[in-house]
Amino acid sequence: MKKTFMFIALLYSGYSYGQIFSQDFAASTSKKNYIGNGASQFDWITDFRNSRSTIETENGNNFLRFDKVGSSSVILSKDRALSGGAANNLAYVQFKLRVLAPDVVETPENKLATFYLGGGNTDAFEANNTAGVPNDNLFSAFGIRVLKDDKGAYKFYISSVEKNTYSGWQTITCIANRTGSPLTYKAPNGTNHTLQNNKQAVWVGDVLQIGAGSLNGGQVTFEKFKLRFSADYPNLKIDIDDLIIDNSVPVK
């Protein structure tokens, strides 16, 4: 997986692409090394009693795991300002996600997890804040839901697109445009796509899930992010890897 992450970085290095955050968890199996005020560190990786977090290794690859077994939130956030400032009116977010059934398999409730970008005067991105992000402080957001198939496997889907469900490691990509103008980007499937102003596109792998979702939040730039699974979200294992955030997009 780390080879893939490096390939992505090299692939985009010749294009208009400004990386302002990246983390692939390759440096260490100690979680404390990923928490702090560094450019590629998080302000908060929750580790509650009912949702422990660890750095796991599989086939030589490190990744972050949350093991949710009860009523505890799962939060991955950065409150310290990302670089870019006023230039951050365009977002390219990408990370790998895998969901697995908990040790005690249940029928998961239909709850919403959310990845937020935002900023402004708010404590919503700070450590110890398990709430969502208010609309006034929101640049963009997209949701993730889970279900159990008829064989008992847990799968996720992008909220409102239940027809496309995914298991195993999958790459989620979100492009959010608040530049004031349409833009054309090179999509994960290798084709060119045009995205209008105040719209976002969400992909899983090379499949488009949301082509032109509306952006109605109160922020036209972003400097913070938060991935939130609420305390009442179904119990499951959540694996995350290769998170990158950029303020420009790949183009041909």
**pLDDT tens profile 29-62:** 999 999 999 999 999 999 999 999 999 999 999 9
CA torsion sign for 12, 18, 55, 224 is negative
**pLDDT tens profile 92-136:** 999 999 999 999 888 899 999 999 999 999 999 999 999 999 999
**Residue 180 backbone zone (phi > 0: left; psi -120 to 50: alpha; other: beta):** left
Residue 101 lies in a domain: yes
- Arithmetic mean of pLDDT, 142-163: 94
Predicted TM-score (pTM) of the model is 0.93
Residue 69, judged by CB atoms within 10 A of its CB (0-12, 13-18, 19+), counts as middle
Give the total number of structural domains in the chain: 1
Q: Are strands 236-246 and 44-45 parallel, antiparallel or unpaired?
A: unpaired
Q: According to the model, what pLDDT value does residue 104 have?
A: 87
158 vs 103 pLDDT, higher one: 158
Residue 84 lies in a domain: yes
Residue 210 lies in a domain: yes
Q: What share of the chain is helix, strand, coil (3-state, %, to 5)?
A: 10, 45, 45
Residue 226 lies in a domain: yes
CB atoms within 10 A of CB 190: 8
Backbone angles phi, psi at 179, to 5 degrees: -80, -15
Q: According to the model, what pLDDT value does residue 4 have?
A: 46
Can you tell me whether residue 2 is helix, strand or coil? Answer: helix
Residue 251 lies in a domain: no
> Are the CB atoms for 22 and 40 separated by under 8 Å?
yes
Q: According to the model, what pLDDT value does residue 2 have?
A: 60
Q: Calculate what percentage of the chain has a pLDDT beyond 90.
A: 86
Residue 252 lies in a domain: no
Residue 24 has pLDDT above 50, yes or no: yes
DSSP 41-52: -BSEE--BTTEE
Q: What is the extent of the structural domain holding 55?
A: 2-246
Matching residue, tokens 């398990």: 130
The overall average pLDDT reported for the chain is 92
- Arithmetic mean of pLDDT, 179-191: 97
Cα 170 from chain centroid (whole Å): 12
- Arithmetic mean of pLDDT, 191-202: 98
What's the CATH code of the domain at 24?
A: 2.60.120.200
Residue 175 has pLDDT above 80, yes or no: yes
Instruction: Give the CA count within 13 Å in the CB-facing half-sphere of 91.
Output: 34
User: Which residues make Cβ contacts (< 8 Å) with residue 38, sequence separation at least 6?
Assistant: none
> Are the CB atoms for 44 and 75 separated by under 8 Å?
yes
151 vs 170 pLDDT, higher one: 170
Residue 174 lies in a domain: yes
Can you tell me whether residue 110 is helix, strand or coil? Answer: coil
Residue 21 lies in a domain: yes
Q: According to the model, what pLDDT value does residue 252 have?
A: 74
